[in-house]
Structures are given as C-alpha cells and as structure tokens.
C-alpha cells in the first residue's frame, strides 16, 4: 500500500470518525442507534451552504453555521422524538421508529428546499493541493483531518476531564442511579444530542466539500455506522479506530477494485467483524436500557 493511499484513507477516515463518534455518543448513553443522524448531516450541510452562498464566508464560518444548525436540529429531535418515549420507558423499537421518522422528515424538508439538484461549496482555499516529498495532498483533506482531529481531541478531554464529562459517563452507566445521585439525566441526554448534532453538522460540510452536496447525502452515514460496528458500538475510541481503519481499507479497495466492489467489500468487512468479534475492536457487551 502506497503512502499516498494511506494519507487519502486517513483523511476519509477522519470524516467517518466524526459520524461514528456521533453514533457512539447516543448509543453509549441510551443504548440505541439514532438513524436520523444522516438526515441531520444533510440538513446542516444545506443550511451552511445557503448561508455561505448568500452571505459569503470561509470554512470556519461555514462549519460554525453547520454545527449550530446540528445542535438545534438534534435538540428538536430529542424533544419531539425521544424524550417522551424515554419517560414512558418504551422499547428500542419505538426509538428505531422515531429516529427513522425524524430522518424522513428532515430529508423531506431538504428535498422541498433543494429539489434533486447537486450543489458545490465554493472553493475555500486558493491552493487546492499541497506537494510534499512527491506526495500530492488535497488542501481540503488536510484541513478536514486537522479539524476532525482537534474536534475529537477536545471532545475526549471534555468527557474525561470535566464534571460534564463525568456526569455523561455516569448517565451512560446507569441513568436512574445517576438521577438519584443528583445528576439531571435529562439535561445530560440533551447535551449528548447537542454534541452529536454538532459532529453531524461538521461531518455534513466535510462530505459536501469532498464530494458534492445533494439531498440524499445522508446515505453516507452508513459508513459511520459501519465504523461504529467495527470499533464497537458505544466505544468512542473504538469508533475513531474503526473509522480510520474503514477509510484506509476503503481507499485501498477503491484503487484496486473500483467503487462498486469496494462498497461490497466494506459491508463484507462489517459482517466478518459481527461474526468473529461482534463487540467490535474496543467495545464490550451491553444490556439494553431503553
């Protein structure tokens, strides 16, 4: 495997890591997968696109707009789609239906606004590539990797070193006991959704910059879900490791087999992990709490 393929794969994996971490956060706290995550990514990317197109602005304002939109959309989803189900102690089936319904609603709203057209973000960099030692690195790829790495590092420090992080870990371990110990579980769950929404917004912009922006962009969320499965659902470290591994393997297979077969091989890798190590790279078996 050439160094060029490895670098490209890590850049793609950094985007998948944002998606997978968003999945893992929700699963870690509530023990279910939020399948409206992909539609949230798409909606945030379009919000950022229309703001940039009308007002102008660089990459940082675009990411800020997408992150803010993600926080609002995720908080709305938590309030209308999940909180009442949590209060009624409904089964995971209701969570699945709610997340799918919310995702369909978001995609429908985006389709009404954007139609079936494709959109391109304006170029954020004057020099599209960086030449280093015979390697050609996309400037956007380098920025996406750097921003993703910093974002995930800050998130890890918040979870491990702050009171909010300790509260989040306590709620993920046992929501009812954390509530009895004085932790406002509802607020922590809201915070989890907000963080997940911000990650979705950033990931949506990155996907739009790397590929193109279209109403079904959220279908790429399956890559983040696969990365979460490979890394271990509920494990943030595993989500990042699975995402980077998936990005590198996918880029390698893309260069060897083409786009069609590489997609099949990606799903095959997930199935192998489910058969051999269903808890993933760093995950552990969990009991359903929803």
Nearest-angstrom CA–CA distance, 247 and 16: 7
- pTM for the full predicted model: 0.87
Give the per-residue pLDDT at 103: 73
Give the per-residue pLDDT at 86: 65
Give the per-residue pLDDT at 97: 66
36's CB contacts (< 8 A; 6+ apart) are 77, 81, 99, 100, 102, 103, 106
Nearest-angstrom CA–CA distance, 258 and 9: 15
Q: What is the mean pLDDT of each run of 10 residues along the chain (290 residues)?
A: 81 90 84 82 90 79 92 87 65 65 76 78 81 79 90 91 89 84 88 93 91 84 84 81 88 78 79 81 53
Nearest-angstrom CA–CA distance, 278 and 231: 10
Closest CA to 216 of 63, 49, 39, 23: 39
Give the per-residue pLDDT at 289: 44
Give the per-residue pLDDT at 147: 92
Nearest-angstrom CA–CA distance, 253 and 208: 22
Give the per-residue pLDDT at 154: 92
């Amino acid at each position: 495997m050439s160094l060029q393929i490895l670098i490209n794969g890590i850049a793609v994996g950094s985007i998948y890591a944002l998606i997978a971490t968003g999945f893992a956060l929700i699963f870690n706290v509530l023990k279910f997968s939020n399948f409206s995550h992909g539609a949230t990514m798409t909606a945030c990317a379009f919000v950022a696109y229309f703001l940039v197109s009308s007002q102008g602005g660089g990459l940082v304002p675009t990411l800020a707009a997408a992150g803010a939109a993600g926080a609002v959309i995720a908080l709305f989803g938590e309030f209308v789609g999940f909180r009442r189900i949590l209060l009624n102690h409904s089964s995971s089936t209701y969570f699945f239906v709610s997340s799918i319904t919310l995702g369909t609603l978001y995609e429908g709203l985006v389709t009404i606004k954007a139609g079936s057209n494709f959109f391109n973000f304006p170029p954020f960099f004057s020099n599209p590539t960086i030449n280093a030692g015979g390697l050609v690195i996309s400037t956007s790829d380098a920025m996406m990797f750097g921003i993703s790495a910093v974002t995930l590092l800050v998130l890890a420090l918040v979870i491990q070193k702050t009171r909010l992080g300790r509260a989040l870990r306590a709620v993920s371990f046992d929501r009812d006991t954390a509530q009895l110990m004085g932790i406002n579980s509802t607020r922590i769950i809201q915070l989890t959704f907000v963080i997940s929404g911000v990650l979705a917004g950033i990931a949506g912009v990155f996907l739009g910059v790397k590929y193109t922006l279209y109403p079904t962009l959220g279908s790429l969320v399956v890559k983040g879900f696969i990365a979460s499965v490979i890394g271990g659902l509920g494990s943030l470290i595993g989500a990042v490791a699975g995402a980077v591994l998936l990005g590198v393997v996918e880029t390698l297979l893309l260069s060897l087999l083409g786009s069609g077969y590489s997609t099949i091989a990606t799903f095959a890798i997930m199935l192998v992990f489910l058969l051999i190590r269903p808890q993933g790279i760093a995950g552990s078996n969990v009991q359903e709490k929803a």
